[in-house]
Chains A and B, each alone.
Chain A
Amino acid sequence: MYRNKIYLLFQVILSLFIIDGPALYGQNTGFLVRGVVYSASTGLALSDIGIRAVNSSTDPVSSDREGKFEIRLPDRNEQIYVSYPGYKSKTVFINGRENIEVWLTGENERSLTDPVTTTFREVPLRDIAGAVDPGENIDFKKSASSSFCQDLQGKVGGLQVINRSGMPGEGAYLHARGYPSLFPSSMPLVVVDGMIIRAEGFKDPVIHGYTHNPLVDLDKRDISSIVLLKDAASCGLYGIKGSNGVLLITTTPPRGGKTTLDVTVSGGISVSPDKIPVMDAKHHSSYIMEQLFNSGMSSTEIFGEYPFLEYNPEYLYRSRYDNNTDWQNEVFRTGRLYDAHLLVRGGDERARYSLSGGYLSNNAIIKNTDYSRLNFRFNSVVQVSQRINIGFNLGYTSGRYNLMETGSSWQTNPIFASLIKSPLLTVYQKDQDGLSLPVYDDIDDFGLSNPAVIVNKVEATDATSKFLGVSYLNVNITNKLSVRAQFGIDRLKSNERIFIPSLGIAPQGDGSAERSMKVKVNQFYSLMGDVRMSYINTFNYIHDVSLDAGSRYCINGIMQDFGAAQNSATDEFKDLNSGKVDEKKVGGNEEKWSWLNYFLSANYVLADRYILTANISIDGSSRFGAEASGGISMAGYPFAVLPSAGIAWRISSEPFMSSIKFLDELKIRVSYGLTGSDDFMSYYTRLYYRSVPYYSITGFTMNGLFNPNLKWETVKQSNIGLDLAMFRERLIVNADWYKSVTDDMITAVMLPAYYGFGTYMNNSGSCQNKGFEFSVYGRPVDGTFRWEVDAIVSKYKNEVLKLGSDQLITAFTGGEKITMVGQPFGQFWGYRMLGVFSTKQEADQANLVDKSGRRFSAGDVHFDDLDNNGIINEQDKTIIGDPHPDYLIGLNNQFSFKGFSLSFFINYVRGGDVFNYLRSQIESISGIENQSSAVYRRWTTDGQVTEIPMMSWGDPMGNSRFSSRWIEDGTYLRLRSVTFSYTYPKKLAFINELNIYVTGTNLLTSTRYLGYDPEFSYADGALGQGIDYGKIPQPRSMIIGLKIGL
């Protein structure tokens, strides 16, 4: 038996070289198969079903009224193909069986036999040996989000989707299966119609806190499928680009036949989440008094400097200060959403096309912020001859954002400013009678910006455009051998501008910028050529073989140019040109990199039972150092060699399993292999000089130390998976366990000071990601009334195994993160708060001083003195939070009855600590800024037990330093979407399809997080998560939509 298999394998390899192999076989006498065809949903026999042999030319037959059929096949191992309109066609391995049952599933029901787009061709999930999520849970047609990536949340196993904000178009940060690298963004490789596109935005925007999201340029209504490749066996073909997983996206394919027209329109509103309670005018004015007393001013001095604090009806400017303004109301609004899409498909045998156009306009819940987009797509296939076809998939998108700064800047972040602005003040200037004038009030006596000016007068825009073009030529040299050449281009442009006026807004930077204007033009291009040869054949009915070999070459470039100016003559001069002459800056940079890849991939299925996939990828990159080791050298350049393989055993196809009737599919998969990453700074592997000015002379100087050994990160991935389908596929389970170890991880090593450059990048790190994904699909009730459930649970655990140095501390505004061996990437690093000293006695007992020798007393925060030396200093910092979530759950329920359907989707993220920077500012009780109403609970009298320390001017004891006081649990449970939809069941005159739906988004959120929204992302990558500077929170929204198919 064993020897036989080896012999067969040998035969297969031999026969690869002989075209039309099966002709040599199949001369046996016929083998008669009897069978019955049933409908999986009703259990009834199906008549008139067409049945034919797959690999031989026997006459097709069809089933009789009782669903029975008989077909004579040339071989006992032949497969039959069963198809009927309204049902999914099915290929059945006869496997020597003389009597078979064929259960056909309806075309709208989920099945493991559904074709899944993989790198080379569509393959049913049941025949894939790697870990792949076919994206069947994804349903974005009815969602309110503007970027398709947001709709992947909780719907793809192993993919964490973190919405960046409630700003439309900013989309979500994605990463699959943890973080294989420390510094890069870790977004999966996004491949659209075979072309690798850029998924990350441009770095260092001039609009603080904004993230450019190139994925929004792809209209979700143009997407026909999204597949996530997760393990080495499936990503291995992408070599050094594949370590983060690969997201394969297919845009609407052309369809021949009658010309059809689909129109979709939707519109709705969005409202802001609950406001954060802050002090009202009365409380705030006494708060200011108390603070100023603390600062050492006498009441005469206070009233001298701030006369409005004194009750004096005669005071000339009283109307300016006698208010109780709710600043959050001045900033937030109700947003409006609008979206329209038109799709035309048609063509004949020679040429087919799909043409679409879309328009989207989403207003955010902050005044004067919105995103609008116009996009076109033209996909076509031209059949040049019987064996040759060419195709074009062309897309163009033009987008425009009206933005606000949403970073940690109190001067210009409208949300931040609205929380700290005193309610005493007025939006508009007022005359002595208290009547509002048409001019906004300027910055106040404390130098704080007027939030209403920020939202109404700051002009921050980003105009983006994207062209994505893929063209290909397919030549079928024989039925089994084909060549495909593909050329793609991805071109992105983003033009950011910001103007911040002087009136009403505090000066920025070092204080010199009373009004400032900045422009940044970012351009990215990517050109990719891909040539490959494919061979597909079936030998002796039981050996399905496919081989693909080819090469890819990709060049990329980023060009960034910026200009900044400030202090133009008036607030009406807004361009760079008008700025003050000696306060202008220009700058820019460019980066280019290339990737050359050779690949070979083999797939082999034996007798429908044993599946083998093997890949090898040979990769060169312009980013590798000339002396990179560990690979092979070709033409003087180092190349990484990354093999991967997967095997699967379909137990359910074994003869001994045939008696288990309820089991449709049981498959165990194991894969192992290497992928890699070259996502590190270019120009680090050679000595470069950059230009520097010395007074009016320009010189050049070393750009830093270089590392000619710098090489790819290698990710060793192993995966064990299970695919299970039961009860005529009414229950489908996919589960995967994985462990991936990153070797040669790029990390920054601290160098001795005498090198003059603090850090050095090398491959001395290592990390590991372990986890599982478990997804279940079930159809508990199936009939006229149908209930479908799908649930996905994912978990990853990230751990540093090796780091070039003991620890790596990364600072961000407001705090620090640490990465150290044995711990996950980027945990919060600060002081641990034990409580607030309620009595003097308690404080004396603890007997703690700060670095400068000042003593902590009653009302101060009790920080944990870890080294017990009585001094609270750097040595007392410890890990105070972990921003990585414990696990992620997505649960979707859908009920349908005739044309009605109701679905609700719940997303649950457990764990994941958050640094609430905003709260650290509005509970610091150290200045005159307005504070959260939580400070009513602050420590005031000896013996008071509270978790909020006393008020103190300037916070000399550092009570509001970065500590566990500001770290909160980011766990949340969210009713992400509820959709009610009605499809008119019949044709209506010339209308083929009519569907109307209502979707509510984010209707309910349950969390203990004290900020607006526990979900946000400031920067991509492991180190960027969990820091809340006050982005626009995600709104609650309600949309109504209509789809008409003509």
Chain B
Amino acid sequence: MMIIRNKILRAAGFLSIVIIVLSCEKMLDMPNNSLLPEDKAYLDEFSARSAVMGVYSSLQDVAQQLVILGELQGDLLTVTENADNDLRQINEHNAGGDNIYADPTGFFRVIVNCNEVLHKLYRAKENDQNISDLEYANYIAELTTIRAWVYFKMVQIYGKAPYFEEPLSDYNQSLSLQSKLDSIQTEDYILDTLLSQLIAIDTFDMNLLEESPFYAIRVKKFTNWALQGDIYLWRSDFAYAKRAYDKVLNIMSSEGWLGTTRLPYIVFDNYQDVNWKTMFQFNFSSDAFETEAIMVIPFSKLYNQQHSLQHMFYYGKGGDYLLKPTDYIQNLYQAQWVMRYEVQPDHPRGYPGDLNRGKGVSYDSIDGRPVVTKYSLYCEPFDNDAGIFVYRTADFHLKTCETYARSRKGSDAVAHLNEGLLYASVWGTGTRIRANLKGLSVADPRIVESVEDIIMEERAMELAFEGHRWFDLIRIARHRNNPEYLAEKVAAKFSDEQKRAEVKNRLLDVNKWYLPLNIK
């Protein structure tokens, strides 16, 4: 009996020891197959690449918001009777801090993600020799450019922002940064900082992504140049803007580039006249698309990445028709003349209108209602997956014209706009030629503002509903130091007399151009 008792006691003792010992092992660590802990996140070249791709994917969350803010505040897009209050407020420039389109969280999420990866990517480099110095520098440059672009957009939207480069994933650590985080930086401070970063990464070896089909959906050298030009132009710093844009104009000679593919200028063969709209097929693997797209935020129904722009714009199946084109842009398209009639056999010679880009392409009339169709070209009713351009050649091209106009080279600007005069390459052409439209002209190209006006008209038609217009209006109003320019144009979209006056008055105050930045 005693022996049995001892045995049992020993067994019990053993059991309890097992339990206690086990606790020292990983009893309280419960791994999970669908989440990656930080210590396993930056181990090799795959994780480095995937971390960078994760940052790109966060751009998808802000793309739609940027399109709405860039257009609905401008003079090309307005609300229909179906629009909700948030959209109406944006349209009338009286959005409160709780307006969902004014919410900066998505922008900061991109920045926080960038900062996070920028600070931790070196671990992968240290762990894996397969990551070359160039590849690593490339990743850093991509993230820096994305970050700079988002900050620049915030400056354009809010006029200011808190600026930080530290990762915030650890909330406790972030508390020591509180005062920095809470202090709102001015536009000048932020843009100076961004420019110095962009210039630092603008070296010959970097950003030369050659792999298809990712060329168009990742940042490259041209994105950096486009962004630099954009920022300088925004600050009315035309000399520096010109320097950035000239790099592209002279690319054949300056950097010894050959061939015509993947160069950010307008190529006559690609997307000419009726084929203009095929760029909205977002055929990422075609060479032609790679010449047009400097950077696109891609979406794909097949890969479960969708926005809701088609849903918001479209009238009919799959559409809620919340937003519609203004009379101004419709009339502007209709006021154009096609040069050659052969390409439009359905219409008699001299039929007016921008048939390549206007009615039937960028917008259409469905059941008598004007409908933005730019996000439903080549789409089935519920696709909602048209890509959203960050930069494309035409935008770059017209900003080049704008720079030249402001640099007292008005006739060059007009010629470049029409037929791409300034390109060193013979392939380069202008948006007017490409769209098969009669060239634009001004009475006196020495008058900067009249040249600028036709550039703005051309920008409206070429880039309508892609999220540029409102920022274009601010930029020109800043060049001219004339709030009335902007106020007048935006107010024109309201047919209601009282509302028109109200909006105009509001926009005469420069501070009202920016949305309230609701941080807390």
A binding-site residues for B, Cβ under 8 Å: 387, 475, 477-478, 483, 485, 510-512, 529, 531, 533, 550-551, 553, 555, 582-583, 585, 588-594, 596, 620-622, 624, 634-635, 637, 682-683, 686-703, 705-709, 750-758, 760, 851-852, 874
Contacts and interface: CB of A to CB of B under 8 A. Distances in A.
B354 to A, nearest CB: 31
Nearest to A555: B30
Given A694-B56, A707-B171, A756-B112, A852 B85 contact: yes
B28 interface: yes
B33 interface: yes
Contact of B38 (A596, A688, A690, A752): A688
3 closest pairs, A vs B, by CB?
A699-B53, A756-B109, A512-B382
Contacts of B390: none
A688 B36 CA distance: 5
A695 B388 CA distance: 12
Contacts of B4: 387
B356 to A, nearest CB: 28
Contact of A758 (B47, B105, B214, B381): B105
A531 B15 contact: yes
B162 interface: yes
Contacts, number: 210
Given A690-B36, A755-B108, A699 B57 contact: yes
A689 B36 CA distance: 5
B168 A756 contact: yes
B129 interface: no
A553 B27 contact: yes
Interface in B1-51: 4-5, 8-9, 12, 15-16, 19-20, 22-24, 27-38, 41, 47, 49-51
B39 to A, nearest CB: 9
Interface string B42-79: 00000101111111111010000000000000000000
B203 interface: no
Given A582-B302, A585-B304, A703-B35, A755 B168 contact: yes
Contacts of B57: 692-694, 699, 701
Interface in B160-182: 162, 164, 168-172, 174, 181-182
A698 B98 CA distance: 33
Contact of A700 (B29, B54, B105, B109): B54
Contact of A512 (B56, B116, B318): B318
Contact of B171 (A477, A533, A700, A760): A760
Given A531-B16, A700-B51, A754 B108 contact: yes
Given A701-B57, A753-B104, A592 B303 contact: no
Contacts of A585: 304
B311 interface: yes
A149 to B, nearest CB: 29
B406 interface: no
B51 A475 contact: no
A755 B38 CA distance: 18
Contacts of A637: 23, 28
A220 to B, nearest CB: 34
B231 interface: no
Contacts of A694: 53-54, 56-57, 60, 217, 298, 305
A475 B15 CA distance: 13
A686 B37 contact: yes
B254 interface: no
Contacts of B23: 553, 596, 620, 634-635, 637
B30 A622 contact: yes
Given A691-B36, A701-B58, 17 more contacts: A512-B381, A582-B301, A592-B32, A594-B28, A693-B303, A694-B298, A695-B284, A696-B300, A702-B113, A702-B116, A705-B168, A706-B169, A754-B164, A755-B168, A755-B171, A756-B109, A874-B98
Contacts of A594: 27-28, 30
B143 to A, nearest CB: 12
B9 A511 contact: no
A485 B15 contact: yes
Nearest to A692: B57
Nearest to B164: A754
Max count, chain B CB within 10 A of own CB: residue among A477, A590, A752, A760: A752
A683 B301 CA distance: 30
Nearest to B214: A697
B366 to A, nearest CB: 17
A460 to B, nearest CB: 23
Contacts of B317: 511
Contacts of B284: 695
B77 to A, nearest CB: 19
Given A551-B16, A694-B57, A752 B169 contact: no
A485 B8 CA distance: 12
Interface string B194-226: 000000000000000000001001000000000
Contact of A696 (B88, B105, B303): B303
B518 interface: yes
Contacts of A755: 108, 112, 168, 171, 174
The listed residue with most A CB atoms (<10 A of its CB), out of B9, B28, B98, B104, is B28
A640 B35 CA distance: 26
8 contacts: A477-B5, A588-B34, A620-B23, A622-B28, A692-B53, A694-B53, A697-B53, A699-B53
Contact of A754 (B5, B116, B304, B519): B519
B518 A589 contact: no
Contact of A752 (B19, B22, B29, B182): B182
Contacts of B111: 754, 756
Contacts of B168: 705, 754-756
A1027 B301 CA distance: 34
A698 B304 contact: no
Given A483-B12, A753-B103, A852-B85, A702 B519 contact: no
Nearest to B29: A622
Contacts of A551: 16, 19-20
B382 A510 contact: yes
A702 B169 contact: yes
Interface in B289-304: 298, 300-304
A708 B54 CA distance: 23
B305 A689 contact: no
A477 B58 contact: no
A693 B50 CA distance: 10
Nearest to B301: A582
A709 B172 CA distance: 9
A638 to B, nearest CB: 9
Contacts of B41: 689, 700
Nearest to A582: B302
A701 B60 CA distance: 13
B318 A695 contact: no
Nearest to A707: B171
Contacts of A550: 16
Given A583-B301, A752-B519, A475 B35 contact: no
Contacts of A682: 30, 32
B32 A510 contact: no
Contacts of A624: 28
A692 B300 contact: no
A657 B300 CA distance: 83
A705 B35 contact: no
Contacts of B104: 753-754
A690 B34 contact: yes
B300 A695 contact: yes
Nearest to A757: B109
Contacts of B302: 582
A757 B111 CA distance: 11
Contacts of B98: 874
A689 B302 CA distance: 24
A283 B156 CA distance: 56
A686 B301 contact: no
Contacts of A760: 171
Given A702-B116, A760-B171, A689 B54 contact: yes
The winner among A478, A689, A692 for most chain B CB atoms within 10 A is A689
